[in-house]
Chains A and B, each alone.
Chain A
Amino acid sequence: MGSETNDPFSNLTRMWLELAASAMQAWQPSVGGTASPEMFRKGRSDLMQVWSDWCEELLRSPAFLEAQKQCMSGSLAFRKQFRVNLRKVQRELQTAGREDIGALVATVQRSQRRVLDQLEETSERLQALQSKLDCLSERIERFMGLEDGASGRADGDGNGAKKKRRHEAKD
């Protein structure tokens, strides 16, 4: 590739001329050689390779990227203007358009996010509460164990005897 200029169109023209030169070079071996279908296929294959290389270079060039951007911006701007006008008509006719549906979905999504946030918060609070309850029940168990041990020691029998007494009292 030769030197790049700032003008994308002159760059594209230069690239096109280079392709033409390369394509002619690729076709050269077939001139004056023995005529056969293989020779034509080889020439065609060489030509396609030259085109392919050229396309690759073109599609990678800043000129192409700039052209792509401009083309897309122009197309989107046109569509946008068209939609703005269409929207006015839709408003007059009181019909729902894509923007209305989009706004509705956005509202639903915001509500969903809020609900999820609250659920998460509630879940965290529940977890904290659960751990507090676990702590508390552990302490109660420990306390009860101590109490049982103390009373067992005082009257000379253990937990088994105390449980038995409780059972008898129930009956």
Chain B
Amino acid sequence: MFNGGNVWIETQKALLDEWMANARRAAGLPRIAAQAQRVRKGATPSEVVYEEDHLKLLHYPGNGQVKYETPLLFVFALVNRPYILDILPNKSVVSHFVKAGFDTYLVDWGAATEADRHLTLDDYVNGYLRNVVRYVRKRRGAAKVSLLGYCMGGTMSAMFTALHQEYVKNLVLLAAGIDFSTREGLLNLWSDAKAFDVDAFVDDVGNCPADFLQSCFLMLSPVRNLLGKPVSLLERMDDAKFVEEYLTMETWINDNVAVPGEVFREFVKHLYQQDLLVKNRMQVGRHVVDLRRITCPVLNLLATQDTLVPPAQSAPFTELVGSEDVKTIELATGHIGLAMGSAAQRELWPQAVAWLAQRSNPANGSK
């Protein structure tokens, strides 16, 4: 009886201490809110060198010393902003390549407006991307470029390479969806033809709204996203580095953009529902994408804990291409961790840089 009383008192004291600590942390919330307004987007200095409609091509001049003749072009997805690839100085994928001496470019697709709802994958792959590749080749005086596509950008890069292999020297895919037959991921289940009528959806809403995409992504791990993350912020509000990374990350996660309606329709219908890419029957405009036509070196980077693009969706790519020089690197992390996680910065990207360096022509005058 006496012991029970002690435990009760201890419990009350512990609760009170914890409550006081939380109250102290909560007092810092206005400071966090102010800090959230000042989040930087992009760490490495860049310049816009090409523009077409909403598209902007960023060039990273680095220190001006280019060691490789073959330029590197990052192709990002249409659903988010591309600054995740260059989010913080110590977590920048782009800076790994810039520092290694690659002439580096990044495609920022911009935000689609209502006027873009009729744009198709053909417009993006055979239109914008082809124009960008042409521009980069001309600017650099190179016959070919290396492509690095992330997520949906990876899928589009694979399509581009299959259709225009003559312009691509190396292809690097980062968590790119290729084989959509898997039912491992929730998105694959939710977008099943029996559960989701994409035609009715696109006919009605036009562009796929950013809020819709955002809520789908949040619902992939609702407890972690809506409860776990705010709680962890509250507990570690005194840790300035954690807060900075948290705010930067959240700013990016909540910075979704609408996807052009027809692109969304094609992506859901032809890939998620019919899985045409692996069947070599995916039609992009007037051309059919045949992955066997990809003969350049291929590096496939995937995350084993990815809930957005499960590894089963990206892993088969190396078996579907016609290339002999293929390599897969797996990392035990999630979809975003692959780009900005500490393990990725430490282990994955140095390997990717070395792989690409071995397969890129040295620039004239460089050792």
Contacts and interface: CB of A to CB of B under 8 A. Distances in A.
B50 interface: no
Interface in B95-150: 118
B47 interface: no
Given A59-B186, A65-B192, A72-B201, A52 B223 contact: yes
Contacts of B286: 116
Interface stretch (B9-17, B71-79, B155-163, B266-274): B9-17
B221 interface: yes
Contacts, number: 70
B262 to A, nearest CB: 10
Interface in B167-218: 186, 189-190, 192, 194-197, 200-201, 204-206
A35 B195 CA distance: 47
Contact of A72 (B11, B197, B206): B197
A135 interface: no
A76 B190 contact: no
Contacts of A83: 204
Contact of A35 (B10, B197, B201, B231): B10
A94 interface: no
Interface residues of B, number: 32
B189 A73 contact: no
Interface string A77-97: 001100100000000000000
A48 B223 contact: yes
A68 B204 contact: no
B49 interface: no
Interface of B: 7, 10-15, 17-18, 118, 186, 189-190, 192, 194-197, 200-201, 204-206, 219, 221-224, 227-228, 231, 286
Q: Which 5 A-B pairs have the closest CB atoms?
A: A35-B11, A52-B223, A65-B195, A35-B10, A35-B14
